[in-house]
Structure 1
Amino acid sequence: MTRRIVRTGVQLGLLTFIVFFLVFFLDNRYRVLPQSIHNHLPLHHEGLVITDITVQTCSTLNPLSSCKLDQDKWHQVDKDLYLGTGWFSKAFVHIKRKREEELTDEDRVIIDVRTGKLDPAMGEKSQAAEKWESRPAGIWLKRSAKRSASDSKKVVTAVDVLFGADAVEPRPGWELIKPGALRLEASGENKEPRLSIRRGRPQKIEKPVPRIRKDGKFKIMQISDLHLSTGPGVCRDPEPKGANGGQCDADPRTLEFVERLLTEEKPDFVVLSGDQVNGETAPDVQSAMFKITGLLAEHKLPYAAIFGNHDDEGALSRLAQMSLYDSLPYSLSEAGPNTIEGVGNYHVEILAHGANKHSALTLYFLDTHSYSPDKNKFDGYDWIKPNQIAWFKTTVENLKDAHKRYTHTHLDMAFIHIPLPEYVINEEQEKEIVGTLREGVTAPRFNSKFKDALVEEGIKAVSCGHDHANDYCHVAKNAKSGDAELWMCYAGGSGFGGYGGYEGYHRGLRVFEIDTNQARITTWKRLEYGDTTKRLDEQIIVDSGRVVPPQSKQIRQAK
């Protein structure tokens, strides 16, 4: 009998260990927040109002513990408030909601939300009819029993969670709840979850129509490899080394640099050319990408985004992220046709000045994917696929008749993330580059000949990101005639959340200025540290609609 009891006890102990392993270790190691990949947006439905908010915490050690509330009454915002870092806990925000027409006289709707330790009424001068109600995690609600409140602009109609003390809310009609983060038990790394609410009905997003300025010019700022994180992030290889006592928060420094250049350069359009988000350090991708999109919205700048190899290494797929971009003000980003490979194959037309409906400049964007699908044969990075190239050529050909109606010379450019194989240059070609080659070109080992398609379709320049420390432009020449036929440029890496570490390398970005009167494209670089006030390596790459060879260093310096 004693042996049987001992054996039973051992079996129960082993079973408990297995359950603990499966629930805790595997859940935290492989946590993906499964619904968030495809259903990343919180439960926003027109015509619904929020009647209550709470936070439910559960234990990863107890198989019977659940973070789910009664699903007939409560809806879970699918973001773990600990972002998978809770040692033994998870926590989720839950909301009660009803359709406006279903509200009864007994229902109470939320008209205000605060967070904090103390009752917000302590700081209010007047005594409102509605009292503040306490909820877990330091949430305070003000609810109205008046039926008419459901029609008020004050009523809360959607709830989301963003993370980080530097969180930004760029969506129209939304606001981050003050004064700060939800109050959670100290368990794991604190990612500072913050409530964001929307009042009233969803606001319609009007897409901007970019146009050439009255002076005939149009300036594009290419920002690449921001590597933004959830929270402020940690600087990698900052320059100068050891400055500020070694303290360097990556995202604030990156965004301060970008905002300074937005103010100084005053671009008309921004291209985000991949790795906006560092998937490894951004467990909540939405919070990370909102930082740059919020900054661009603040400056009222239209922009287009493509993806790099790190953007979707977190919890959100490319398609989910592109859906977010599409919902934001000033974004012209598109997923592109679902019949070809990749997400983000599209084009943007820049119209002529005034009420003119003719395109003066077309920008093409293509998804260069991530890592090689055949590492045994072609190790390294993926390549642009044949059906993408076919789509690109068909699109260009279909637009040519319309472009001929423009009274000036129509120009075309392309933007990608991973460089093409033709970016790799030999020692002789290196003498003609404009800029600096500091690291090896990490282009795909397989050449799908997209460069040839660009030349055949008359594209004048293509620009990429990916290799942070390379910031040069190189002209491809015709093998027979030796004539310049395509400029291939690097943007240079902008973000301190991405690698640096190459001697003399400073974070930077690239600017293109199009002069439609001269059919000219000029480009230069700007740096975060070092020569911060100068246009570096300024170079005319297209003149009178033709690709021009590199100018001598003496000419560039004279400019």
Structure 2
Amino acid sequence: MTRRILRTLTQLALLTTLISLFVFLADSRYRVLPTSIHDRLPTHHAGSVVTDITVTFCSSANPFSTCKLPEEAGWRRVEKDLYLGSGWLQSSWVHVKRKSEEELTAGEKVVVGVRVGRLNPGVADGEAWERREGGVWVLRSGRRHDSDSDRAVTAVDVLFGADAVDPRAGWVLSGTPLLVESGRGLQQARLSTRHGRHNVKTEEKTRDAQLRVRKDGTFKVLQISDAHLSTGTGVCRDAIDASGQPSTNCEADVRTLEFLESILDSETPDLVVLSGDQVEGPSSPDTQSTLFKLAAPLIERKLPYAAIFGNHDDESAVSLSRSAQMSILQNLPYSLSQPGPADVDGIGNYVLEILAPGSSQHSALTIYMLDSHGLSPDEKRYKGYDWIKPNQISWFKSTAQSLRKAHAKYSHFHLDMAFIHIPLPEYAEKNLLVKGGEWREGVTAPGFNSHFYDALVEEGVVAVGCGHDHVNDYCALRPSSPSAVSGGEHDHGDQHEKLGPWMCYAGGSGFGGYAGYGGFHRRVRVWEVDVNAGRIGTWTRVECCGNDVHERHNELMVVDGGRVVAPS
């Protein structure tokens, strides 16, 4: 009898487990979807205010538990599992209740304060703080004028990591993480809230600022490639100190961002180009938090920046799609990033026009940004990585040709540059003139050559920058070839022997990515354009040394008088 009872109980337990597993797999409540941020409730609703906030906990082992509060009661879930999908059978979610101001009834309360902690904050302005799950305390006011004031909470978000930041204007990130289960490598979840109305005009002004050459005719571009940031502080790979010895006790993102901030302060660029692999996909289960960390020092310094993507940015099942990441970047202050035409392959094919000094409306410098995609779509025939597609090349050529007439009106040298992530096959040719750095590792260019390099030559681009191969930081020049296309505005299309474009690596900047091959220090590339002289110089800045004294490494002149030049 006892054995029969035990067998029955065992069978019931197994059946319950199977039912729970089925629910877990079938119900998207318990999964973090790659596009969750793109599909979730927008963080801002015009004319609406938050009336309550709470946290729910549930387990797929309990069929009666739920992580969704009733929508008919006004609750909406922030679609980010606070365990980031690592809680196995557990999950936890932030819920927000909101109403438009017109729907508020007399005396109905709105949230005017949010805190996180174990202790009751007490009383503020005659109102008592109300306790919610997850250590959340809300202060709510029933005074009508508070719903239309800067006190009212109008948006709620969740960010992750002990080093999380929120660079958005008007947003405040809680210093205390939500009180959910920690340990087992789980990232801290933090509430971020915004008080007051969404200032659309201010945000548009910080996003759409027109780039312009300085009064002295110079324009400086800082190229940051392969930052490989994570959600959380990250784990260092191949980290070394100034003497080349292995570094211990190293947090990857902390060290990467300290390095980048020192360069931003010493170089004071006019534009920052993020040339791909901003994110280390598998270690970034909340891509939004990761991108915010990289954007924050740029926004703090009011530096315009533009991004393209690399193969690692969206490689993982937990990563956001390229389009979702571009949507995040587009809506941040000082970002010039654009998704590009919908009918062209990739996300991030666009043009930046930099105007001449003063009040001139003529373009002095054009920068083309292109998406070089990720892994090869045909691994059997062409191993390795993807390539610039024919419709991208057509878009580039038609765009360049449509701009040529306007560029010809500029009285000085108009110059064209381009940025991609994955190097072109021409970077690997054996007869190149290699200068201004070292060729330390094999070039992992696409196995198929779509001849984008030829299009760059035809349209007069003088330099192209890439990333991807972290420890290569050289510039390379192909032997001269005949061309009927001008390398500078004053050539008027005459037939001549043409050099270029220069092909330059940026070098890896992040400690979350590899950097082997013999004592490689992280680095970035600087491009300085002088439109009066038609000149472009470039150099690298290295993490280990020289940052405080503006030391330039591997300095090289690549363009002079509007033409590509080879060093003597």
Stretch moving more, 354-363 or 473-482: 473-482
Match of 1:347 among 332, 338, 351: 351
Assess if the C-alpha contact under 8 Å between 2:41 and 2:77 holds in 1: no
Q: CA deviation at 1:87?
A: 3.8
Match of 1:162 among 139, 159, 165: 159
Stretch moving more, 84-93 or 371-380: 84-93
Opposite residue 289 of structure 1, the aligned amino acid is L
Assess if the C-alpha contact under 8 Å between 2:35 and 2:320 holds in 1: no
Assess if the C-alpha contact under 8 Å between 2:115 and 2:137 holds in 1: yes
Q: Which residue of 2 aligns with 1:265?
A: 267
- 1:94-109 pair list within 5 angstroms: 94-109=95-110
Opposite residue 58 of structure 1, the aligned amino acid is C
Q: Does 1:137 align with 2:139?
A: no
- 1:161-180 pair list within 5 angstroms: 161-177=158-174, 179-180=175-176
Distance 1:16 1:101 in 2: 47
- 1:14-163 pair list within 5 angstroms: 14-23=14-23, 31-33=31-33, 36=36, 38-39=38-39, 42-72=42-72, 73-121=74-122, 128-163=125-160
Distance 1:38 1:8 in 2: 46
Change (3 A) 1:35 1:443: closer
Distance 2:335 2:347 in 1: 15
Q: Does 1:214 align with 2:210?
A: no
Q: Does 1:516 align with 2:531?
A: yes
Opposite residue 270 of structure 1, the aligned amino acid is V
Distance 1:3 1:56 in 2: 40
Q: Which residue of 1 aligns with 2:397?
A: 393
Stretch moving more, 2-11 or 208-217: 2-11
Change (3 A) 1:242 1:230: farther
Q: Does 1:202 align with 2:198?
A: yes
Distance 1:118 1:100 in 2: 31
RMSD after superposition: 2.4
Distance 2:424 2:264 in 1: 28
Assess if the C-alpha contact under 8 Å between 2:178 and 2:191 holds in 1: yes
TM-score w.r.t. length of structure 2:
0.91
Match of 1:375 among 341, 354, 379: 379
Assess if the C-alpha contact under 8 Å between 1:225 and 1:276 holds in 2: yes
Change (3 A) 1:308 1:108: same
Assess if the C-alpha contact under 8 Å between 1:469 and 1:502 holds in 2: yes
DSSP 3-state at the match of 2:500:
strand
Assess if the C-alpha contact under 8 Å between 1:273 and 1:416 holds in 2: yes
Assess if the C-alpha contact under 8 Å between 1:32 and 1:315 holds in 2: no
Assess if the C-alpha contact under 8 Å between 2:239 and 2:247 holds in 1: no
DSSP 3-state at the match of 1:485:
coil
Opposite residue 428 of structure 2, the aligned amino acid is V
Q: Which residue of 2 aligns with 1:545?
A: 562
DSSP 3-state at the match of 1:55:
strand
TM-score w.r.t. length of structure 1:
0.92
Q: CA deviation at 1:8?
A: 7.0
Assess if the C-alpha contact under 8 Å between 1:104 and 1:147 holds in 2: no
Distance 1:256 1:40 in 2: 33
DSSP 3-state at the match of 1:354:
coil
Distance 1:528 1:220 in 2: 18
Q: CA deviation at 1:4?
A: 10
Q: Which residue of 1 aligns with 2:458?
A: 456
DSSP 3-state at the match of 2:442:
coil
Opposite residue 456 of structure 1, the aligned amino acid is E
Distance 1:283 1:26 in 2: 21
Assess if the C-alpha contact under 8 Å between 1:87 and 1:187 holds in 2: no
Distance 2:214 2:428 in 1: 36
**Count of residue pairs brought into register by the alignment:** 543
Assess if the C-alpha contact under 8 Å between 2:443 and 2:469 holds in 1: yes
Stretch moving more, 415-424 or 16-25: 16-25
DSSP 3-state at the match of 2:127:
coil
Assess if the C-alpha contact under 8 Å between 1:109 and 1:155 holds in 2: yes
Question: Which structure 2 segments of 5+ residues have no match?
Answer: 483-495
Q: CA deviation at 1:425?
A: 2.8
Q: CA deviation at 1:502?
A: 1.7
